[in-house]
Structures are given as C-alpha cells and as structure tokens.
Structure 1
Amino acid sequence: MADTLAVTGIGLVTPGGIGTEATWQAVCAGRSTARTDPELTGLPVDFTCRVPDFSADALPDTRQLWRYDRSTQLLLAAAAEALRSAHLEPTAWDPTRVALVVGSAAGGISTLEIQHRKLLDHGVPGLSPLTLTGYLPNMAAGHLALALGITGPSLQTSTACASGASAIIAASLLLDAGLCDIALAAGCDAMNTPLCAAAFAKMGALSRRTDDPAHASRPFDKDRDGFVLGEGAAVVILERTAHAAARHAPPSAYLVGHATTSDAHHPTTPHPQGNGLRRAVLQALHSADATTHDVDHINAHGTSTRLNDRTEATVIRTLFPSHPPSVTSAKGVLGHTMGAAGAIEAALTVTSLQRATIPPTANFVGPDATTTGLDLVTGRPRRHNLTLALSHSLGFGGHNTVLAFSTRT
C-alpha cells in the first residue's frame, strides 16, 4: 500500500441490530439471530437472519423509501451512522473529493423478484417504472451518491461474498491514487428472498436444521451442515492519516495491508489446499510490512459449510503453526450476509482492535479432523490487547480477499 489509511467511521445494520453498538453486543453475546422466516414458508429451508425492527425511521431521509430496494435501505442507514461516527457532514465537504465504493453480490434482488411476480400476475401494467433503478447492481452506490451529494468516483464491486471487502480495497486504491480525500467503502445485500433461499438450498449450501434454526450456523464445528442466509450493510470510512489528522478525526484503526487473489479452481468450491487464500494472506502481510508472527487475530470467513471451513482452517493451521492467532467467525450469530459480509466483518475486526476484545464463535461444540488446531474463541468474549488483525473474505468464483488492520500506523 502507498499510504497507511485511517478508519475514521463505521456504520452497521445487521441481524444483530441497527447500529454498531447493537451489532457488537449481539456478536459478543454469542446468540444466533436465526429465526423461521414467514417469507420462505413452504421452502426446503425456511429460516434466515433478518435485521430486527428495521423501518423508515432508521433512514436519514424517508420521503423516497419506496424507491429503494431493501438492500439499499440498509445501506443508507449504515451510511448515516458512519458519517456521524466520523464527524463528517456532507454539506461541509468538497463532494468532488469524496469517493464511494459499494460491494453487493446480488444488487436489488428483492425488487427483481417482487416485480417479476407482478409481471407474471398482472402483465406490463402491474410493473413498477422503478424496477430497473431498484434492481440494477450499480444503483446502491448510485442512490447513496445521490443522497449524500457525492460527485467523486462512485463504483460498485461484485465478487460474491467477498464484495464488501473488495469495496474496501477499491476505496483504498482510489485514496492511494490521490483521486479522493475521503472514501466510503461499503457492502450491502438482502438476499433473504424465496428465489435465493431456494437456489442455495437446491445446491446444498444451506443448513437444513429447520427444527432448530438458532443452532444451525456453527462455523468450524464438527456438525456444521451449511450456512444460514442473512442480510445487512456496513459502511467503513477511510482517509489518509494526514487528512484525518488535519480535521482532528481520531482513527479507530488503520488499514495497513490488503490482497486479493483468485482460485481458478471451481465455480463454487474453494481450492482444497486453499492456495488462493494462502497467497492472499501472505500478500496482505507483505503489503503491511508484517509476517505471520505479527498477527494476533483473524476474523475468519467461517461460513459453517463443510468445504469453506475445512479450507480456511487448513490455511490458518499451516501458515501459523507455532504462533496461532485467535480466530472467530461472526456468522454463527449474524448468518451469512453475502456481499455485505466482508464489510461487516472488517468493521467488527476494527472494533475488536479498538476494544481489545474478540467476540466468540457461536454454536461451536467441537472440531472435526479438518478444523482442529485453531485457537477458536468460543463461549464468551476474550479480552486481548491486539495490534494486527486480519479479516478473511471468500466468494463463489474463487475470490479470496484479505484485509490487514492495525492499531499502529
């Protein structure tokens, strides 16, 4: 990386709650948010993790709520909190020097499904003229840029479940290139829809614990059988350290390294030895001028699927044989928030550094032969002074993304 970048603001809207504090308390409590979902009645898997009590009151401007897909609504609420935490006021900044990058796996998929049903049931007269502006994958970034008056670079990334982390990397590159002074990096998705739930169930990716949803998502556990669909949004605000210091904005942590690689192995299955993830970890550490001995903590992708957790555990175990970092996964509580996951978990990694606390991995009972050997935080939060932490994000298509955050520049 050309410059160390300061994280000056965070906003979270997750199944753990609306706001960073609500989400943090939820993951530290280690209680799953998975519940039976009325919108999925009759499907093979009928439970998800949804944002609780989300309404128009959580949005900064509710006059055009009907224009936005649910994923965009979550993003707008997260952005409002991020701006407050960074002490930024859009009316006071130079909008040409602000960048926005939003990651999403599916765009406005809820809008697409709803409008497709209307087309089938009522023909063209039943179709909303705002279908495309609600659904198109770039429109989350477009709507947020409109809401905040951002006229600098505005981009949308899509690398499946690594999308939010990819957005953070893209935002950092814009800052390094001098194309902006402030960058909002985000992830958002709301794929708790009948089509997405049925499709994931059809391919065998979802947990089938319909009789016990609360214990369905169990990262790295011997009895894991798939992930649980979640929804959410996160916004991470990045600035060059000098710019943050000039406006007296205290950093929560620093983005000191990052890397992204591809497996080129299989559309959905990670490389069995984790070669792509291994290279991403080493490249991220190299860009941070650090080694494996410097890593205190890893916020793992930890999906609760057989293959992901096996691959990720193998990489961690082989890269850190004598100095194992503490490991956690938030997906036992929040479910898999898809394109939002990378940004949400990056925000949680920063919060762990800031609060010297690692949340537990929910629902973990014990490892199997493929996930043994990790220093997995379970049961209760672990207090630990942290200096360098990694956040892993992996996605269909063989995407591997690693972010390195530190309490030091």
Structure 2
Amino acid sequence: MDLELSEEQAAARALAREFVDREVAPHAADWDRAESVDRGIVKRLGALGFLGLTVEEEYGGSGGDHMAYCLVTEELGRGDSSVRGIVSVSLGLVATSIARWGTQGQKRRWLPSLTSGEAVGCFGLTEPGTGSDAANLTTRAVREGDEYVISGSKMFITNGTWADVVLLFARTGEAGHRGVSAFLVPTATAGLERREVHGKLGLRGQATAELAFERVRVPARAMLGPEGKGFSVAMSALAKGRMSVAAGCVGIAQACLDAATGYAKEREQFGAPIAGRQLVQEMLADIAVDVDAARLLTWRVADLIDRGLPFATESSVAKLYASEAAVRCANNALQVFGGYGYIDEYPVGKLLRDARVMTLYEGTSQIQKLLIGRALTGIPAF
C-alpha cells in the first residue's frame, strides 16, 4: 500500500531502507543478545540527516516534513526498534522540543550537536512512582539565586546512559501540571547519576536507564519554555512522539509480514508449502490488513501536522491501533513459524518482545483510549 509520495519523501524512504538493510537488520539479533546497540550507529544516523529531520537547516537540521520523518522511522522500526528509539527520543522528543520552545542560545548550543549525532538527548519525564500520572511528578527544582537545584529520580529513560543532555521535567511550584517546569540538564553535571536497566523483555539493545538527581545545580537559563509550562512542553512533544512510535510499530508489523510470508512459502508440511494452507493464509491476511490500517492511520497524523491542522487525537488513535496491531502481527507471525518462531535463530520472537512495550510507553493503550474518549465527549475520565 502506498499513497503518492513527493520526490523528497520517496528519496528519504529509499535512503532509510537501504541503510536499514545494510547497517541495522544484519546486526539486530546480535545487539539484542548483547543488550547493546553499537553506539557508532548514532553518528551514522546523523550523517544521513535522520537525526535532523523536521529541524531547520539554520540549526544543523536536514529539514524535511513529518511525512518523511514518519517514513524513516517506519524503516528503522522494521530493522530494529532499539535503533528507532534513538531517533524517536533524541530528535522526536528532545531536539524538536528545543526547536519549538528554546531560546536562540539553547537552540545554538544543542541543536547542531543533536542533529549531527555528536550528542544524544533523553526525555526525563517518567518517575518510579509516576508513569501515566505524569502531572504529579515529584522531582523538584528549587530556585537559589541564579540557579535551580534539582533533586529526584527518573525511571525507564530511553538513551539515558548515552545522553549528553536530559530534557528534564521537575516541580517548581504548586501541585499538578501547572507547577511543572522543563530544564535542559547536561548529563556531566555534578550530582547526576545514571544506572542502566538490564533484563528487559524487549528493546534489549536500547540504552534504558534510571537517573538520580542529588542537588544538581543548573543556571536559570537552562529552563526550557516559561516557568510552570513544563507539562505543556511534555505533552506537545508526546503528541508528535506517538506518531513516531506508531510508525515504528508499522515497521515491526511489516517485518512480521515479510518474515512470515517468506517462511510460509519455504516451509513444507504434508508434502506442500504451508503457504497453501487456508488457515496460514488467514494469518498472513490478518497481518497484511493490520499493516495497511496502521500505516494509513500513522500517515494521516503526519499529513495533519504538515498541513498545520490539529492532530493530537489522531495521534492517539494511530498509536493505540498500531501498537496493539504490532503485537497481533508478531503473534500471528510466530504462529506461522511454529516452534522455530520460539528460538532466536529467526526474527519473530524478537519482534514480539519489542512490540509488547509499544503498548506501554508514551502513553499506555488505556491512556490513549481515555484521550480519545475525552475528545469524543468533552468529558475527562482521568
């Protein structure tokens, strides 16, 4: 399934596809076993412009629209979701937030290095005690003269041990979302400690960390956006971030379709390829329908953003459907592979493990349903 793409969009997709097939997919299983992606991949992503998509060229970005970003993210998700996460967070959540909310000084300091891959960003919102209820975070930033002193902790932070800067959300005022502010905190700052989270079910190659802040001092100019508007910074980032997650899920689903279809045509049982069996074809058809539906829902979000139209609800719809679809597709693909799908010689076990977390982060499936329900009724159920 394809809509008509512009020449630039098609070129970005082709470049990403070639890069994934050459430099990502062949290594995905080894990175998964080692629980570590080759860090050199970051500069290669930057050199190709993938870490600067949608960022203005003035600040080192490669420009491009959100449809191109969506297409690139899908291809990265097809190859390895751990690599896709590097781009979705460092570019999609951190760099784009700086581009939207930052001062000229903040943009000049951080964007060229983030878009080139010289630096990596992470998004410090989730805490050990606050996931979906992010407005009630407890990390606190207290003003002392021309500085803020930050204490608290963050959990499940993608890129956390690799990052050079944390887009950190901390409480500067009253309870609730109006008391939250955003800060750009260099990870070399004294008092900031990082511990990598191991033993994950999926996304094993991704650097996921717990961050601890013990009286970390940053200058007042490190605040991103106005004081008390940190929750708005976070939500604006996540609305677009959900599109990126959805696109990555489309990539997972496409990888499931490719793997299951290829295997079904090669694997013989009862004297013939299993691709000729009706119930196997049913599973393949179910995967194909989910791929197309998830892709169209995700592309709709990119199109709305590029046309300057409201997109937040549509982004929740795409993230909800695509993440759940990726799990269904991986389950069906594993069933096509039978027992071989259960060992890591074949890709579908990893695809299932990677897909499962997509229903959890950047807003669980249940949170997406509440956001969609609020949009439909005008009544919040939180």
Into which bin does the TM-score normalised by the smaller protein fall?
A: under 0.3
The structure in which a higher percent of residues are helix is 2
The alignment's TM-score, normalised by the length of structure 1, stands at: 0.26
Greater CA radius of gyration, 1 or 2? 2
The alignment's TM-score, normalised by the length of structure 2, stands at: 0.27
